[in-house]
Amino acid sequence: MAQVSARAGFNGSALTRLLSRLSQADVREPRQVTADRLSQWFGWTDAISLSAALNGTPGASPPGSRASANAEETECRRVRAALAAAIAEDSTFAASPERDAAMDPAVPVEFSPFRQRYLARQQAMEAGVGPLRGRLRARLASRSPEMARLAAVDVVMEQVLGAQERSLLAGVPALLEKHFRRLRQAAPEAWLDTFRRDARDVLLAELDLRFQPVDGLLEAFRTGHKDTPQ
């Protein structure tokens, strides 16, 4: 986990700290500065695209295309709340002493159902956050040439860093499986409920991480809204 986090640049995030604790790994600060680590992920075509986005001259904002900043915030809160509620209400990760008591102690609990549900929740997050980010970016681009340039940069960043993020987050279930097996072997009291709670916390931390680009665009939208004449 330490090596993965160093490559991802996720150090300091709640997700990294939580996975570090559950996997009993020491996550150290990478020796490379952030710019050096990012440069390893950018190929020639990526660098050209980013340069074009930074140096481009977007057209003027079309009249009547400016949306309310409040409407954007409301939509972001709605999507985030819906995804968080789906995680909290997922019965696979909910504590259930009655269900556990009814289980046959001779039949070992397997991780497979938890992996399947975790992957399903990851897919739901990607399906919710990705389109939201795209819509927010499109509306931001309509506000001003400066905001359009920021949106263009975000397109490139999503193309390059998004693939890395998906690859790294795809490894989270494997880390949870190791935690699951350690708990099962140690068999502390209510170990299964402990695992369910931990998995739910990891999902919520992952949701926070996935929303960081959206939060950044939303903050830019707030700033642009303040500076734009009504």
pLDDT at 199: 96
pLDDT at 226: 52
Report domain extents, the chain.
Answer: 43-227
Average pLDDT along the chain: 77
pLDDT at 100: 65
Residue 158 CB neighbours (<10 A): 16
pLDDT at 104: 62
The torsion angle over the Cα atoms of residues 159, 135, 84 and 179, rounded to 10 degrees, is: 0
pLDDT at 16: 86
C-alpha to C-alpha distance for 16 and 19, rounded to whole angstroms: 5
Read off the pTM: 0.77
C-alpha to C-alpha distance for 199 and 222, rounded to whole angstroms: 34
Residue 225 has pLDDT above 70, yes or no: no
Q: How far are the Cα atoms of 20, 62, 103, 165, 226 from residue 1, in angstroms, in the given order? A: 7, 47, 33, 14, 42
Q: Which residue has the tokens 């696979």?
A: 92
Residue 11 has pLDDT above 80, yes or no: no
DSSP conformation class of 29: P
Closest CA to 140 of 49, 58, 52, 48: 58
Residue 117 has pLDDT above 90, yes or no: yes
pLDDT at 25: 63
CA atoms within 13 A on the CB side of 20: 17
Residue 19 has pLDDT above 50, yes or no: yes
For residue 193, give every residue at least 6 positions away whose Cβ sits within 8 Å of its Cβ, in sequence order, or none. 95, 96, 97, 100
SS3 of 95, please?
A: coil
The most confident of the ranges 25-29, 48-52, 114-118 is 114-118
Q: pLDDT for 72-107, tens place per residue?
A: 899 999 999 999 999 999 999 987 766 766 666 767
In the numeric block, which tokens belong to residue 208?
């926070």
